[in-house]
Amino acid sequence: MDKQNGQWRLARRPVGAFQDGDFTWTVQPLPTLVDHEVLVRVVYLSLDPTNRVWASQDSYLPAVKLGDVMRGGGIGVVEESRNPAFAAGDTVQGLFGWQQYYVSNGKDLQKLPSLPVPLDAWSGLLGHIGLTAYFGLLEIGLPKAGETLVVSTAAGAVGSLVGQIGKIKGCRVVGLTGSDEKCEWIVKDLGYDAAINYKKENVADALKKQCPKGIDVYFDNVGGEILNEVLGQIALHGRIVCCGMISMYNATTPVPGPANIINLVSRRARMEGFIVLDYQARAEECFRELIGWWAAGKLKYRVDVSEGLETAPQAILRLFDGSNAGKLLVRVSPEPR
Amino acid sequence: MDKQNGQWRLARRPVGAFQDGDFTWTVQPLPTLVDHEVLVRVVYLSLDPTNRVWASQDSYLPAVKLGDVMRGGGIGVVEESRNPAFAAGDTVQGLFGWQQYYVSNGKDLQKLPSLPVPLDAWSGLLGHIGLTAYFGLLEIGLPKAGETLVVSTAAGAVGSLVGQIGKIKGCRVVGLTGSDEKCEWIVKDLGYDAAINYKKENVADALKKQCPKGIDVYFDNVGGEILNEVLGQIALHGRIVCCGMISMYNATTPVPGPANIINLVSRRARMEGFIVLDYQARAEECFRELIGWWAAGKLKYRVDVSEGLETAPQAILRLFDGSNAGKLLVRVSPEPR
């Protein structure tokens, strides 16, 4: 076997945003497969806020070790298999890492079921993004028709699905995002009732205007000051889905929490975290419903593709400055026909 | 009718802790009762952290108006009634305010059922204290046998009941309180597994030592730095019952929230507030169980009685410096025989 495997390895713990030198590019020959092993060619690498956490500290998964290939989720195609459960040509997903090929023992690999969706839907609609939006909103947020739902990173991969699912469930949906283009997209194309450009508008005032009866459900991807403003306007028995706190991931010193947390008491409100891994076992019911909505034109997704694995360290910065539009992916190799 | 009614009225909004001059003492003759009215002689006035909130701002109840009698819960005895639902000699509870007599329209008054408990049990074991401890811990905290429960203000009115109910439910219970005497009391008399003197010990280190498997349930009466340390050590799927945040009530500028709130995500933890008013309708089931435990010697309460209504403005300060031992009450007039 004479294929070469290009890889990004974690060279040092990032301080603040990722910088040049945090990753090192290495090229290694692929090993010969032994029994039960499967060789995967990576097609799409998923770039997610949680990657920043994995690079610096133990969390729900241990931190990536220095010198190891950077951890990342992906979609790929089996090129060679010595495992009876997989055959060449199968499309698969797993934590393949930031590399062109992945050698699996066959246990850490999931075959993608044959469903009537394009391959990139596994990154932008289904997979961990879909599970996060679907179960986070419906099981933790418990939205009811007529309630007001606020979504941060409303044009992002998870947020854009959350807002649309909120509309399907009959909520008034208000999205926060960072550009006029994205504000327009979520209102005109995705059906949000209102959009707030948090970089230009006073968030507290805009929320007050758009949520006159208070905020019943907040799907939080950012934490920080926006979380504080939402807590200031949380409705009685409101629920905050703690999906992520991207505003804190690059922090080099502890970021104070929201002073308005005191409102949890008087408003009888709830904040609750969750991790998508807890819902893997229920993926089928989620994907069936998401595909149904997508096929009916009620649920749209958008992917933002960076071409070539070499672009990954630069591309991921766009998650943190808010310049991505839709699910951020790296195309590592061509889609299979 | 020539009885005089001594009253503490709110003279100005407190800034920080209550100070001399926040209340004014007035004496007024009692009016003659009209149809449906009931005259209550106040026996015990309850002093609670929430009084500080009522004095300065709208919350789950509107702020007390300047010049009005300070709001407060109490236990009293009916002296005269022009309402068929009440008779002289009935013991009653309600928001009587900081005064010696209360004239009720008969609607804002609850007759105390005849139960085999001393009158002060309505302040220290039953009433809003018992409801808060019972429903807050059991309905929001959902403790399971074998789990670790941490209680702040562990020797206080609510906290001391919470810790003992936690023991009844089979938890390992660790209490935080502010003096060695109270630490000894909660361990030796109430059966806590461990006590931490937060004024002398390093709270993070002490929690780590006493909760080696993390904190499953935290009953929070204080907020602030202790809440932050608990969030730092919260167990997977941990629950924080947000009962009160006394450390923030006297604050004159917004107090930053806990930086470790970010752990809600990776630990899939929940923080949830509640207000005892939401559970009034279920008081009977709660009181039946609390009295059963008390009669069996499994649940103790302690009252800390300040003699005479004139002492109320000074006595309430003890809630905030932690010097009270058990439920803080003012004896406004003698118990009926």
Task: With CB atoms and an 8 Å threshold, state whether A271 touches B274.
Answer: no
Q: Give the nearest partner residue to A223 out of B59, B255, B262, using CB atoms.
A: B262
A265 and B CB contact within 8 Å? yes
pLDDT digits (tens, 9 = 90+) for B69-126: 999 999 999 999 999 999 999 999 999 999 999 999 999 999 998 888 999 999 999 9
How many Å lie between the alpha carbon of B291 and the closest alpha carbon of chain A? 27
Residues 212-241 of B with CB under 8 A from A: 223, 228
Find the CB nearest A261 among B53, B257, B262: B257
Of B245, B248, B274, the CB nearest to A268: B274
Q: Is the whole-model pTM more than 0.80?
A: yes
Is residue A216 predicted with pLDDT exceeding 60? yes
Task: Give the confidence band of A81 by pLDDT, cuts at 50, 70, 90.
Answer: very high
Question: Is residue B1 scored above 60 in pLDDT?
Answer: no
Cβ contacts of B34 within 8 Å, gap of 6 or more? B82
Name the residue of chain B whose CA is nearest to A249's CA: B262
Domain with CATH 3.40.50.720 in chain B: 127-277
Judge: B257–A258 Cβ closer than 8 Å, yes or no. Answer: yes
| Choice among A60-69, A256-265, B60-69, B253-262 with the minimum mean pLDDT | B253-262
Of B59, B257, B262, the CB nearest to A266: B59
Chain-chain contact of A272 with B254 (C-beta, under 8 angstroms) = no
B257 and chain A in contact, CB less than 8 A: yes
Q: Considering only residues A245 and A8, tell me which one the structure prediction assigns the higher pLDDT.
A: A8
pLDDT at B251 over 80: no
Q: Kindly identify which residue of chain A lies nearest to residue B53, measuring between CA atoms.
A: A266
**Right CATH for B127-277 from 3.40.50.720, 3.40.640.10, 1.10.150.120, 3.90.1150.10:** 3.40.50.720
Q: Does residue A270 sit at the B interface (CB-CB below 8 Å)?
A: yes
Planar angle of CA A243, A58, A251, nearest 5 degrees:
65
A266 touches chain B (CB under 8 A): yes
Whole-number mean pLDDT of chain B?
Answer: 94
The model's pLDDT over B195-224, given as tens digits with 9 standing for 90+, comes to 999 999 999 999 999 999 999 999 999 899
Q: In this predicted model, what pLDDT tens digit does every residue of A286-334 receive, in sequence order? A: 999 999 999 999 999 999 999 999 999 999 999 888 788 789 999 999 9
What pLDDT does B250 receive?
67
What pLDDT score does A227 carry? 95
Whether residue A229 has pLDDT greater than 80: yes
The pLDDT value given to residue B114: 86
What is the model's pLDDT at position B54? 95
Q: Would you say residue A257 has pLDDT above 90? A: no
Angle at B246 between CA B179 and CA B138, to 5 degrees: 90
* pLDDT, tens digit, 9 for 90 and up, residues B24-55: 999 999 999 999 999 999 999 999 989 999 99
Percent of chain A with pLDDT over 70: 98
Contacts of A257 in chain B (CB under 8 A): 228, 256-261
> What residues of chain A lie within 8 A of the CB of B139, using their CB?
none
CATH number of A129-277: 3.40.50.720
Structure confidence at residue B245 (pLDDT): 79
* Residue-level pLDDT at A254: 73
- CATH 3.90.180.10 residue spans of chain B: 4-124+301-331
Specify the CATH class of B4-124+301-331 in words: alpha beta
- Using a CB-CB cut-off of 8 Å, the residues of chain B touching A243 are 265
CB pairs under 8 A between A and B: 101
Q: Return the residue of B nearest to A248 by Cα.
A: B262
HEC secondary structure over chain B: CCCEEEEEEECCCCCCCCCCCCEEEEEEECCCCCCCCEEEEEEEEECCCHHHHHHHCCCCCCCCCCCCECCCCEEEEEEEECCCCCCCCCEEEECCCCECEEEECCCCCEECCCCCCCCCHHHHCCHHHHHHHHHHHHHHHCCCCCCEEEECCCCCHHHHHHHHHHHHCCCEEEEEECCHHHHHHHHHHCCCCEEEECCCCCHHHHHHHHCCCCEEEEEECCCHHHHHHHHHCEEEEEEEEECCCHHHHCCCCCCCECHHHHHHHHCCCEEEECCHHHHHHHHHHHHHHHHHHHHCCCCCCCEEEEECHHHHHHHCHHHHHCCCCCEEEEECCCCCC
In chain A, CATH 3.90.180.10 sits at 4-125+301-331
**B259 interfacial to chain A (CB closer than 8 Å):** yes
| Radius of gyration of the CA atoms of chain A, in A | 20
Residue intervals of chain A classified under CATH 3.40.50.720 are 129-277
Q: Does B17 touch chain A (CB under 8 A)?
A: no
Q: Nearest-CA residue of chain B relative to A270?
A: B272
CA of A61: which chain B residue's CA is closest?
Answer: B266
Task: Specify the higher pLDDT residue, B133 or A20.
Answer: B133
Residues of B in contact with A258 (CB under 8 A): 257, 261
Three-state DSSP string of chain A: CCCEEEEEEECCCCCCCCCCCCEEEEEEECCCCCCCCEEEEEEEEECCCHHHHHHHCCCCCCCCCCCCECCCCEEEEEEEECCCCCCCCCEEEECCCCECEEEECCCCCEECCCCCCCCCHHHHCCHHHHHHHHHHHHHHHCCCCCCEEEECCCCCHHHHHHHHHHHHCCCEEEEEECCHHHHHHHHHHCCCCEEEECCCCCHHHHHHHHCCCCEEEEEECCCHHHHHHHHHCEEEEEEEEECCCHHHHCCCCCCCECHHHHHHHHCCCEEEECCHHHHHHHHHHHHHHHHHHHHCCCCCCCEEEEECHHHHHHHCHHHHHCCCCCEEEEECCCCCC
* CA-based nearest distance B294→chain A, Å: 28
Q: Which CATH architecture has domain A4-125+301-331?
A: Alpha-Beta Complex (3.90)
Predicted local distance difference test score (pLDDT) of residue A253:
74
